Structure 1
Amino acid sequence: MVEKLFKLKENNTTVRTEILAGITTFMTMAYILAVNPSILSAAGMDQGAVFTATVLASFLGTVCMALFANYPFALAPGMGLNAYFAYTVVLGMGYPWQAALAAVFVEGVIFILLSLFNIREAIFNSIPTNLKKAVSVGIGFFIAFIGLQNAKIVVGGATLVELFSLNAVEGGTMQDVGITVILAIIGVLITAILVIKQVKGNILWGILVTWLLGIICQFAGLYVPNPELGFYGLLPDFSGGLSVPSVAPIFAKLDFSSIPLAEFIVIIFAFLFVDMFDTLGTLIGVASKADMLDKNGKLPHIKGALMADAVATTVGAVLGTSTTTTFVESASGVSEGGRTGLTAMTTAVLFGLSLLLSPIFLAIPSFATAPALIVVGFYMVNQVGAIDFTDFGEGIPAFICMAAMPFFYSISEGISMGVISYVVLNVASGKVKEKKVSVVMYILAFLFLLKYFFI
């Protein structure tokens, strides 16, 4: 039945490979189970209820991805979108979180309609092949940067960002900040060695070994938990038992009346815009890495993948969480050989189990998952060799797209800059007919420009 449902032989993979890939994907994105409740609780939402909503939305969305598209991509409430929800709409604009959930719900419904009529698919297919490959590379740099930040290897400084200095530990001690940096660096080296030796499950083993080293350091007194700085005990805490927090405080609490219509539309558009292009960017980048694009650079079954994203966002809003989207960390499972929906289904099952075993999953610290993100970044950056830089009309927009993602800290901004520069440069240089720039690319470039002027 598994073979019939997921077509493993056709995709040249095995049950063992798919399950291992699914576990790896889950381990690299499990941090969302701790981070999302923390961010949304700042908006006044019940943290335990948000945890449960996060798990359920992630489970549902990832199952939909497995069944609708048979792809190894996992979904969860998106980073950046949750921050916009809490810090901009609620804390910044002063609207209640119930109204923000209503905006997310409407966005999801719009996405379902766009997906049904293939509008999102048309957008995906209109992006030139070199730009798609550039998105993959840009995401590689972006997630590697996130990994470096999560590990505190890169910190804010006089030059905006700088290398962490063990000689100048600020706001903490060597027993919390310093030791986690060292452990993360060791984790990167261990994971890299496993990659070089082609050990199956290298990324997952890198996470577990780094976590184990952290536990040893905690027992030895080299790592001292410091909750004020976000450094917690590394051992699972089962003191609260296996109870599942109730979702009742936030379930179906949608408020459509608190925001004036004009501002409600702007908020919906912001959610819609970021979600659409983060999702498209992730699908393009990860699918490109997995060699899933056809000879024309298109992703088969993309309609199912986009529908899974839209349904998860809509249902997630009812459950009580911010926009649910395809996670770029899916690349870690793809790098482990995941090629079908069995990878996604495995990740979904682990999300479901996390309801009961949350103390274990939440005990995995960011310094243990950071090496995985850095190494996955390496995997994705190697697509740069496939970009045609000899054609400047292709190469310059590709470069702008790649650079914008880490520098602007946004996948969607990278796509925006790439699309605008591609159209403007080829129009200005008279290469439009030669490049066969599509009408959709013109429309996208125009909309992106409007965004920068009016939003």
Structure 2
Amino acid sequence: MKNFFGFTARDTTFKREVFAGLTTFLSISYILVVNPLILSQAGMDRGAVFTATALTAIIGSLLIGLLANYPIAIAPSMGLNSFFTFSVCIGMGIDWEVALTGVFVAGIIFTILSLMKVREKIINAIPEDLKHAIASGIGFFIAFIGLKNARIIISDEATFVTIGNLTSPMTALAVIGLVVTILMLVIGINGGIFYGMVITTFIGMVFGLIDKPSSIIGKIPSLEPTFGVVFSNLFGIFTPELLAVIFTFVFVAFFDTAGALIGLTSQAGMMKDNKIPNIGKALFADSSAGVVGAVLGTSTPATSVESSAGIAVGGRTGFTSVVIATCFAIALFFSPILAVITTEVTAPALIVVGALMAMQVSNINWSKLEIAIPSFITIIMMPLSSSVATGIAFGFILYPLSLIAQKRFKDVHPIMYVLCILFILYFVL
């Protein structure tokens, strides 16, 4: 196993990989609760979606771990499941069965683009400074998510966001967890992020803030209500309205995944000479999970930015992903225990990991305006728009335009010109 995953080459150990896998799973396990809740509002069976979510995460994480040797989790995307339910099904009045078929078609398109290495070429064409900006922006984004989940930051009509009530019991629990996690990290405790979540959960139970699970083992819900429905609706997708939906699924998921892969592999120290090893296999794993997930009965999966929590505690190989997949498999039988992993428990991990990822801003050439401004806009738009893809879009438009203004036409890769035009059209249309 050490040879297969290359523990020595990536300077890692079995224990470190296991801790990384557990940490990532705890950071992302909320998806097993939240995804069924969101998709059930579109009319889907909550139990079937729970099982589909777990199986999709198992298959996707195993594929990216075994094929690409990445310490990354693949699971249904939180942004795209909301788009599926609230924009497509509720907003546009499209039946969930037809919308899910759209997800299936988008997954097939992804797979074709991956096999043709189109996605790989696009990622390799992105300038190095923008890649660091993307990684940093994701750091700010997930830190902001953590602060919101902990209610340390809340919405405000006058100022958009403001400080929350830090004396509120659950917010106070998250603050304590954040302090504990930071202190363990700064004194050099390996696995500090994982231990921080465990300690926070224990404190919450002791003070009655987190309910103890009423049972340990739960029955696995049937997939029958959602499994294979995509095959009976293939001819219902050829309408202008749904084709636009499929395009949106492809476009947003494409750059969400690209951004996440760039950020996570950069954090893990895997990026060499502005290129990511095995990126083609990773993209194939991601797109294949999309096809499988739609057949099982869940919205589009994606590379999970929460994987950064596991990378932060030392995850460097695909064995981390194997551990993540194993945890999801176990979770199918022990679903009641997942109730103790609240957003306040995982919030400190996201905040700390966000800080670690944001350190990559130091690699951006801030002395040149044509690089500094597009990079800054890329970073700031991710948390402000709650979208990795939107941040990338702004950066990809401004970067070529800045170099064109300096008459440095040859310094811009032709693919970047194409992407610039596509993103402009995306915003306009």
TM-score w.r.t. the length of structure 1 is 0.92
- CA shift for structure 1 position 431: 2.5
CA deviation string 1:103-146 (max 9, x = no partner): 00001101111000110000100100000000111000000000
- CA shift for structure 1 position 237: 2.7
Structure 2 CA distance for aligned equivalents of residues 448 and 146 of structure 1: 25
- CA shift for structure 1 position 428: 1.7
1:161 equivalent in structure 2: 161
Q: State the one-letter code of the partner of 2:319.
A: L
**Residue 194 in structure 1 maps to residue 184 in structure 2:** yes
Of the three residues 340, 348, 352, the one matched with 1:363 is 340
Determine if contact 1:236/1:360 at 8 Å carries over to the other structure.
yes
Determine if contact 1:234/1:365 at 8 Å carries over to the other structure.
no
| Aligned-partner SS, 1:82 | helix
The 5-angstrom pairing of residues 293-312 of structure 1 reads 293-295=271-273, 297-312=274-289
CA deviation string 1:283-309 (max 9, x = no partner): 0011111111112x1101000100000
Q: State the one-letter code of the partner of 2:417.
A: Y
Structure 2 CA distance for aligned equivalents of residues 450 and 391 of structure 1: 28
- CA shift for structure 1 position 257: 4.0
- CA shift for structure 1 position 259: 4.6
Moved more, 23-32 or 253-262: 253-262
2:255 equivalent in structure 1: 277
The 5-angstrom pairing of residues 247-266 of structure 1 reads 247-254=223-230, 255-266=233-244
Of the three residues 321, 335, 353, the one matched with 2:298 is 321
- CA shift for structure 1 position 432: 2.5
| Aligned-partner SS, 1:356 | coil
Of the three residues 411, 421, 424, the one matched with 1:446 is 421
Determine if contact 1:7/1:340 at 8 Å carries over to the other structure.
yes
1:228 equivalent in structure 2: none
Structure 2 CA distance for aligned equivalents of residues 259 and 161 of structure 1: 40
Of the three residues 237, 253, 270, the one matched with 1:292 is 270
- CA shift for structure 1 position 362: 3.0
CA deviation string 1:195-218 (max 9, x = no partner): 101111100111111111111110
- CA shift for structure 1 position 234: 2.6
Structure 2 CA distance for aligned equivalents of residues 157 and 189 of structure 1: 25
Give the total of aligned pairs.
426
Structure 2 CA distance for aligned equivalents of residues 341 and 323 of structure 1: 22
Q: State the one-letter code of the partner of 1:256.
A: L
Of the three residues 363, 371, 375, the one matched with 2:352 is 375
| Aligned-partner SS, 2:155 | strand
Structure 2 CA distance for aligned equivalents of residues 423 and 287 of structure 1: 25
CA deviation string 1:246-267 (max 9, x = no partner): 0111111122344552122111
Structure 2 CA distance for aligned equivalents of residues 452 and 211 of structure 1: 43
Structure 1 CA distance for aligned equivalents of residues 7 and 53 of structure 2: 29
Q: State the one-letter code of the partner of 1:451.
A: Y
- CA shift for structure 1 position 384: 0.9
Determine if contact 1:237/1:359 at 8 Å carries over to the other structure.
yes
Matched residues, percent identical?
44
**Residue 83 in structure 1 maps to residue 60 in structure 2:** no
Determine if contact 2:151/2:165 at 8 Å carries over to the other structure.
no
CA deviation string 1:318-365 (max 9, x = no partner): 000000111001111111111100001000100111000111123211
Structure 2 CA distance for aligned equivalents of residues 85 and 264 of structure 1: 12
1:427 equivalent in structure 2: 404
- RMSD over aligned CA atoms reads 1.2
Q: State the one-letter code of the partner of 2:249.
A: F
- CA shift for structure 1 position 415: 0.4
Q: State the one-letter code of the partner of 1:280.
A: A
Structure 2 CA distance for aligned equivalents of residues 307 and 165 of structure 1: 44
2:308 equivalent in structure 1: 331
Structure 2 CA distance for aligned equivalents of residues 331 and 278 of structure 1: 15
- CA shift for structure 1 position 377: 0.4
**Residue 143 in structure 1 maps to residue 142 in structure 2:** yes
Structure 1 CA distance for aligned equivalents of residues 369 and 267 of structure 2: 23
The 5-angstrom pairing of residues 114-133 of structure 1 reads 114-133=113-132
Gaps of 5+ in 2: none
Determine if contact 2:165/2:171 at 8 Å carries over to the other structure.
no
Moved more, 155-164 or 372-381: 155-164
Structure 2 CA distance for aligned equivalents of residues 278 and 379 of structure 1: 20
Q: State the one-letter code of the partner of 2:414.
A: V
| Aligned-partner SS, 1:91 | helix
Determine if contact 2:237/2:243 at 8 Å carries over to the other structure.
no
| Aligned-partner SS, 2:229 | coil
Structure 1 CA distance for aligned equivalents of residues 237 and 88 of structure 2: 10
Determine if contact 2:102/2:237 at 8 Å carries over to the other structure.
no
Determine if contact 1:33/1:362 at 8 Å carries over to the other structure.
no
Determine if contact 1:30/1:362 at 8 Å carries over to the other structure.
no
Determine if contact 1:96/1:258 at 8 Å carries over to the other structure.
no
Of the three residues 400, 409, 412, the one matched with 1:437 is 412
2:101 equivalent in structure 1: 102
Structure 2 CA distance for aligned equivalents of residues 362 and 258 of structure 1: 38
Q: State the one-letter code of the partner of 1:353.
A: I
Structure 2 CA distance for aligned equivalents of residues 12 and 163 of structure 1: 41
Q: State the one-letter code of the partner of 1:289.
A: Q
TM-score w.r.t. the length of structure 2 is 0.97
- CA shift for structure 1 position 27: 0.7
Structure 2 CA distance for aligned equivalents of residues 362 and 316 of structure 1: 23
Q: State the one-letter code of the partner of 1:373.
A: L
**Residue 30 in structure 1 maps to residue 8 in structure 2:** no
Gaps of 5+ in 1: 167-173, 224-232
1:9 equivalent in structure 2: 8
